[in-house]
Structure 1
């Protein structure tokens, strides 16, 4: 996590990873803390993790992004280096209203990393560029 999440959220994700590595499950007290910090998006993010909806897309140059298959069936691009997601909820709740730390997609990325359930897809640099350009074109079509 290059860009820093608030310390309490970052510590909680570390504790979840540690607990999962030791016992292969997340204890109830950590799940409750997750819901307390991230609200309703915690349950939705856990559901995305259970459905194996998170894929790390990596290229030979070492560049990587995450694709998360949302509950609506749309793929969203997540950048963990800056805690950014291309979903409308991120733009509204995190950026505009500033009432959430993360959207469910980014939280799902962190949780899938902690639980070792993140899938990996190797693509060429050109394919990764195409993925990113396709997302940019969709955003332009949606407008501001």
Structure 2
């Protein structure tokens, strides 16, 4: 599969769809309508919202020399969410509620945008030092604790 999912596993139908989309993008530089319809069927309105995030180039892969990788997605609200694709985690409230608590969605729109940006080759990349990445993650955790 052309999309590197960093060892994480998604349901087979999603893996297959992302793989087919990646192949289509490589061959035709676009995603066929039937794939977009499948995406909408599986993810509902989150698919359209995720595609919008990809179109706005809202996904950034932040990597460090040690190989650690974190994604940041600038959400439609203007807030930046930290995502760990390796374990399908996003810091957004929708992930906590719809994915974890209610289990009525596989992924939030931010995680889906990460996978779609990988498929479409539009993921921005930023290299930082290990300390900068640790500081970035620590600041996110510190902010979350302060809100509680």
Q: Same fold, TM exceeding 0.5?
A: yes
Correspondences of 1:68-87 after superposition (within 5 Å): 68-87=73-92
Q: 1:96 matched to which residue of 2?
A: 101
Q: Deviations over 1:51-81 (max 9, x none)?
A: 0000000111111100000011111111111
Do structure 1's residue 136 and structure 2's residue 116 form an aligned pair?
no
TM superposition outliers: structure 1 runs of 4+ over 6 Å: none
Unaligned runs of 5+ in 1: none
RMSD: 0.7
Aligned counterpart in structure 1 of residue 69 of structure 2, from 46, 64, 81: 64
Q: 1:12 matched to which residue of 2?
A: 17
TM-score of the aligned structures, taking structure 2 as reference length: 0.94
Q: Deviations over 1:94-137 (max 9, x none)?
A: 00000000000000000000000000001011110111011111
Aligned counterpart in structure 1 of residue 53 of structure 2, from 22, 26, 48: 48
TM-score of the aligned structures, taking structure 1 as reference length: 0.97
Correspondences of 1:106-125 after superposition (within 5 Å): 106-125=111-130
SS in structure 2 of the partner of residue 61 of structure 1: coil
SS in structure 2 of the partner of residue 107 of structure 1: helix
Count of residues in Structure 1 that have an aligned counterpart in Structure 2 = 143
Unaligned runs of 5+ in 2: none
